[in-house]
Each structure stands twice: as C-alpha cells, then as structure tokens.
C-alpha cells in the first residue's frame, strides 16, 4: 500500500534522525571506557553493520597492521587486488550492486592511494558510495615528518589528503583516539547518505589503540533527513495541479539518481500505481523493469528512437526522477523538454517548473505523491507506450555487426543477471536492448574511464554472489581490456564465474568515431585473448573456458549452449567484429560531439 510505504519511509527517516542526534550527543559526552576495542575493529564493526562483506585493495607497509584485523574478521573478506586502480573500480562496482551498503577500498600511503584516485573520482562523478581508507604513518611520524619512503621528500605529509579532498565529499584525518570513533562515523554517514566517496586516514599506531565501543550500539543510516511536512505538502499539491492540467498526458523519465539514492522501490510503486508511461535516460537503465508494459525505452535527446523522442517531448508534463544531464546521458545536451512542462525530483530537492524546493527529497516525497496521483491511473493508461523490444535483424552476411550483436544478446539475458558495459561501443550498444526483470545494469556513462568495467565486474560479481543474484556478464572492447586486464586473476582467485565478451575490433573504436578513424594511435597490439585466463591464474584449466566466435552462427550456437549459459566456470568469449563498425547510438553521439568539440581548426 502506498500509504504504508509513505509511513514506513517517514518513520525510518525519523528514526535515522534520532540516531544521528544520539550520536552527536555521545560525541560530546564523557566516554564509557568499560568496553574497549581496537580502533581498527571499531571501523570493521561499523562496516559489518552496513552490510560490507568484501574489502578491496592492495597491501602496503602502512596498512599491514590493519590487514591483520581484516584477515581475522569473521564476515569481511579481504579480496586483495592486483593493483589499486582496479581495486577502486571493484569497490565502485560492489557498491553499485549492493545498494544501501557501500564499497570499501584499502590502500597504502602515497603510492597506493594515488594509484586509486581516478577510481575514486569516478565514484564521485557517478555518485557511488565508496570509503577510501589509506593506511598512513604513525601519528608520531606525521608530526616529525621524516623523509620516509612513499613521501614526496619535502615533508608535505598533507599533499595526498589535499588531492583526495578534490574527489571525496568529506575526509577524516585521524590524529587521536578521542575523536576517532565520531570521525569514522562522520565519513561513513556522509558516504552513504550522499552516495559519494569519502576518505579516511588510518595511522599505523591508532589501529591498535583501544577506544570505547559504546557508539556501536547506535546504527548508522543512509536515509536522508525528513522533509519539512508543510513544504512537502505544498510541493505535492503543486505537482498534482500540473498533473491535472496535463489531462492524461504525463510521462515519467527516470535517471541515475533514482538508483544512487535508493528510490528504486518508491519509484516503481509510483509508476505502477499511476500507470504513467515511463522512459529512462541511459544512466537510469534498469531502474524500471524493461519488460514492464508501461515502459517505452531509452530517451536520450536527439539520439532517441524517433517515436520515443516524440512521445517524451510532446508530453504535457514530464516527471523527471533523479535526472543527470551529462553529454552522453542526454544525447549531447539535446533534450527538448521545456522547463514549463517539467517537474524534477532529486535526492535532496525538488523543482516544479522554475520553482526550487531545497530540502524536499524524493525518497520520502515519492510515496506521498503516489498516494495522490493514484487516482489518475485510469486516464494515464489511455496513453500508448511504444513497445521496447530488440528485433534481431536479418543481415545478408555472416559478420558479427553491432546492429545484429546487441539485439541477439537480448535473448541470452536472464532475470537477475548483472550486466556490465564498458564505455564505448558496449555502453552505447546495449542501450537499445531491453534487459530482463531484476537485471542490474552497470555502466560509467558520465565518468567514462576505459578499463573500469574489469574491476567493477569483480566487485559486482562478489556483491551479486552475496545477494544471490544471477550471472555477471561483461561486455568490453579489446582496447579497454588492456588497461586493467590483470584483475581477471582476482575473479579466478575468488571462484567467480563471470561471462566476459571481448569485442575484438582492433583498437579504440569510440575514439576512431570521435577522431582519427585510420590513425595509428587508435591501434592496439592484438593479444591471444583466449589464453588470458589460463595464464592469469587458471593454471590447471579447471576454472575457466575461453572461446573465439568469428561469425553469427558460431556466436548463436554458443549462446544457445546450456552449459555455456549456465556459467559454471569463468568464461571469456572473443567476438571478432569489424574494425570500423559501431552501434547506432555511438555513431550519432560521435557526430554530435564532433560539432561541439572540434579537433582541428
């Protein structure tokens, strides 16, 4: 029941607020020193409470003491990555799949933490809750600042923190035991409430300092503060008025922040109760089940299929949920939706036409809106929604074209699959393919760091296993895979069984489309892709299988093979594709960016 959801969300938010206040109070009170634990274990208990079961990173001499505690922890598993960038990507992928929890990355001072900074910046950009813990020299050394290895040689012990501050929303530089617990809680809460990375230094000596465990009795919550009731009621009335005026021509457009700020459930209830037609931006793909009868597919400005473009842009009112208008998420800024016809719901604010309402967040607003708009469903149902289907085209040749490949993959997916698409041909290609129910879709459409999916597939597969989800399926190009390939090792080590499709098209295809179609700088060296897994950790060949498919028939046969589809071992499929082919959406996007981003005079 909508009203129940509404009450639940409200009371949960209130409880969270009560807890936050209790914690603030406790920070000011004299500590109960009766039950003391290692500071390192305080942190681990907090992570355990928040559902963290896997920790990513690389050992280094300033985090080894803490690693003893991690290794001895009964429910948190140390993954141990091949390098720190991959580890940060893995923490990101893990956090995306384990909604309401977070990803945790542990690195060492300087060399380790800086190697991970691109991954952390990506989590910032794409709004993913990742806690970056850097093991740092002891508090004594940080005061005397000796010229230790991993330092810049000039005594600037704060340089790494300053860099981290650019890409995290809050930082805690632990310097003493007295404030450590409240500092840890602060960065954890910031991380999960705002869905952004935070940064925590862990000096070697503090890890084994004893602190009170009293605060651990009060749980931390990712729920935002409650909306102001009067203002919320006003906003709802305003929105209802607009819905009313729009007759039955209302469209819901869902986007990234509905996933990131944990409004998936509330949103789904809203669209089911109201029966409004719903479309998704690329970064909102899979928020709403793509098989849902009132779902019409992907809206991405000028790149949209003409029918979708027409339906969305001509609607009298667009309820935009969690919008994030980046270039690749908006068809290079070609939305044609006037503000006068738009209501925007965000994590912590709402916008009705031009009026902004800071502090009114969607998580609590949505259930109440659903209650009020429920009544319009009979009218809403009259609006037709295009069917979102992927038809496998009949092509004359046997070449595996993008045009054929992506619709063909659609039939291979199963409910609860985790589908990861690398920036480039894969992230554009998969847009036009409907995913099954409860599928989880991962792509880095705003940040777009190539190579990200290898690490994030590791994290996603671990999270998927913890949550009992289905297979993890990665689509990646040959160029991107070369950046981060070693992380296959960690997948084998942890007995994960992802299916990896390597699109072998001889280089950086997305770059070729943007510029330099025949330039050598877009070439890469060809690898023996099907030997990778046996070299990188499957020594006796029992943990993996690899395949090359050169034409449509070979790929179809493999996809139809139930042993392959069951994914009982890790599998890699090298898919031979033409060098200069690309999905439709990428071709259009490249044309559009070429216009705004000139490469030559």
User: Which candidate in 41, 227, 329, 505 is catalytic?
Assistant: 505
Window contacting a second copy (CB under 8 A); options: 141-149, 295-303, 454-462, 555-563: 141-149
Site membership for a second copy, residue 301 (CB under 8 A): no
Residue 322 binds to a second copy (criterion: CB under 8 A): no
Query: Is the Cβ–Cβ distance between 514 and 423 less than 8 Å?
Result: no
Contact 109, 135 (CB under 8 A): yes
- Near a second copy in 557-596, by CB under 8 A: 593, 596
DSSP per-residue letters across 287-307: SS-TT-TTEEEE-BTBTS-HH
Is 150 annotated as catalytic? yes
- Could you tell me the two tokens for 191? 């991380």
Active site residue 103: no
Residue the block writes with tokens 């040689």: 153
Contact yes or no for 96/453 (Cβ under 8 A): no
Among 95, 246, 439, 446, binds a second copy (CB under 8 A): 446
Residue 505 is among the residues annotated as catalytic for this protein: yes
Task: Please confirm, yes or no, whether 230 is among the known catalytic residues.
Answer: no
Residues 507-526 contacting a second copy, CB under 8 A: 508, 510-511, 514-516, 519-526
Asked if 539 interacts with a second copy (CB under 8 A), we say yes
Cβ(202)–Cβ(68) below 8 Å: no
Which residues ranging from 85 to 124 are in contact with a second copy (CB under 8 A)?
85, 110-111, 114-115, 117-118, 121-122, 124
Binding of a second copy by 59 (CB under 8 A): yes
Range 269-273 contact pairs with CB under 8 angstroms and sequence separation of 24 or more: 269/2, 269/5, 269/366, 269/367, 269/370, 270/366, 270/367, 270/369, 270/370, 270/373, 273/2, 273/370, 273/373, 273/374, 273/377
Binding of a second copy by 550 (CB under 8 A): no
Cα(528)–Cα(531) distance, rounded to whole angstroms? 6
Contact 567, 495 (CB under 8 A): no
Choose between 221 and 490: whose C-beta lies nearer to a second copy.
490
Which listed residue (102, 258, 343, 485) binds a second copy by CB under 8 A?
A: 485
Mind giving me the DSSP string for 302-337? BTS-HHHHHHHHH-SEEEEES----TTTTTTT----
Q: Is 248 a catalytic residue?
A: no
Polymer length in residues for the chain: 601
Q: Which of 10, 84, 126, 417 is catalytic?
A: 84
List binders of a second copy among 159-218 (CB under 8 A).
159-160, 162-163, 166-167, 204-205, 207-209
Question: Helix or strand or coil: residue 212?
Answer: strand
Q: Which stretch binds a second copy (CB under 8 A): 7-15, 27-35, 218-226, 487-495?
A: 487-495
Q: Is 478 annotated as a binding residue?
A: yes
Tell me the window of 79-87, 212-220, 455-463, 464-472 that interacts with a second copy (CB under 8 A): 79-87
Decide whether 101 or 480 has the Cβ nearer to a second copy: 480
Residue of 322, 477, 507, 537 with catalytic role? 507
Size of the site for a second copy (CB under 8 A): 104
118 is in an annotated binding site: no
Residue numbers 208-237 binding a second copy by CB under 8 A: 208-209
DSSP assignment of 396-432: SS----HHHHHHHHHTT--TT-EEEE-TTHHHHHGGG
**Least separation, in Å, of the C-beta of 292 and a second copy?**
28
What are the binding residues for Mg(2+)? Answer: 478, 505, 507
């Amino acid at each position: 029941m909508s009203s129940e959801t509404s009450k639940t969300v409200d009371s949960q938010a209130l409880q969270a607020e009560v807890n936050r206040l209790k914690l603030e109070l406790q920070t000011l009170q004299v500590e109960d020193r009766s039950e003391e634990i290692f500071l390192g274990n305080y942190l681990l208990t907090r992570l355990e409470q928040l559902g963290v079961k896997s920790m990513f990173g690389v050992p280094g001499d300033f985090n080894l003491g803490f690693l003893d505690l991690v290794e001895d922890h009964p429910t948190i598993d140390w993954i141990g990555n091949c390098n720190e960038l991959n580890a940060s990507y893995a923490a990101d992928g893990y956090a995306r799949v384990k909604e309401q929890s977070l990803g945790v990355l542990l690195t060492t001072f300087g060399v380790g933490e800086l190697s991970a900074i691109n991954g952390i910046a990506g989590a910032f950009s794409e709004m993913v809750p990742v806690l970056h813990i850097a093991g740092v020299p002891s508090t004594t050394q940080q005061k005397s600042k000796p010229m230790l290895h991993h330092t810049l040689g000039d005594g600037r012990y704060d340089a790494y923190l300053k860099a981290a501050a650019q890409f995290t929303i809050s930082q805690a530089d632990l310097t003493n035991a007295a404030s450590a617990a409240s500092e840890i809680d602060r960065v954890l809460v910031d991380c999960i409430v705002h869905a952004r990375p935070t940064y925590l230094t862990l000096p070697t000596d503090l890890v084994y300092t004893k602190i009170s465990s009293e605060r651990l009795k009060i749980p931390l919550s990712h729920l935002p503060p409650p909306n102001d009731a009067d203002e919320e009621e006003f906003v709802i009335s305003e929105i209802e008025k607009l819905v009313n005026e729009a007759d039955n021509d209302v469209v819901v457009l869902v986007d990234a922040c509905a996933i990131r700020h944990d409004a998936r459930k509330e949103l789904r209830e809203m669209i089911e109760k109201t029966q409004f037609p719903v479309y998704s931006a690329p970064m909102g793909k899979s928020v709403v089940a793509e098989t849902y009868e009132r779902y019409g597919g992907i809206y991405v400005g000028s790149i949209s299929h003409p029918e979708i473009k027409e339906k969305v842009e001509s609607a009298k009112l667009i309820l935009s949920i969690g919008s994030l208008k980046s270039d690749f998420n908006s068809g290079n800024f070609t939305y044609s939706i006037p503000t006068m016809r738009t209501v925007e719901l965000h994590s912590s604010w709402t916008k009705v036409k031009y009026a902004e309402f800071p502090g009114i967040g969607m998580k609590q607003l949505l259930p109440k809106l659903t209650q009020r708009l429920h009544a319009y469903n009979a009218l809403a149902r009259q609006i037709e929604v295009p069917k979102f289907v992927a038809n496998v085209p009949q092509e004359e040749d046997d070449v595996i074209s993008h045009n054929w490949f992506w619709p063909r993959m659609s039939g291979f997916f199963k409910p609860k699959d985790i589908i990861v698409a690398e920036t480039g041909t894969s992230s554009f290609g998969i847009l036009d393919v409907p995913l099954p129910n409860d599928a989880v879709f991962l792509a880095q459409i705003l940040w777009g760091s190539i190579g990200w999916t290898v690490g994030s597939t590791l994290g996603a597969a671990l999270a998927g296993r913890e949550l009992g989800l289905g297979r993890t399926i990665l689509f990646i190009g040959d160029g991107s895979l070369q950046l981060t390939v070693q992380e296959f090792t960690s997948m084998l080590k942890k007995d994960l069984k992802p299916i990896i499709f390597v699109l072998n098209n001889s280089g950086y295809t997305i770059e070729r489309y943007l510029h330099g179609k025949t330039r050598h700088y877009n070439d890469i060296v060809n690898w023996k892709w099907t030997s990778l897994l046996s070299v990188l950790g499957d020594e006796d060949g029992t943990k993996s299988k690899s395949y090359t498919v050169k034409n449509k028939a070979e790929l179809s046969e493999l996809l139809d093979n139930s042993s392959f589809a069951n994914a009982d071992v890790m599998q890699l499929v090298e898919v031979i594709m033409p060098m200069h082919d690309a999905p439709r959406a990428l071709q259009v996007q490249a044309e559009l960016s070429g216009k705004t981003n000139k490469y030559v005079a």
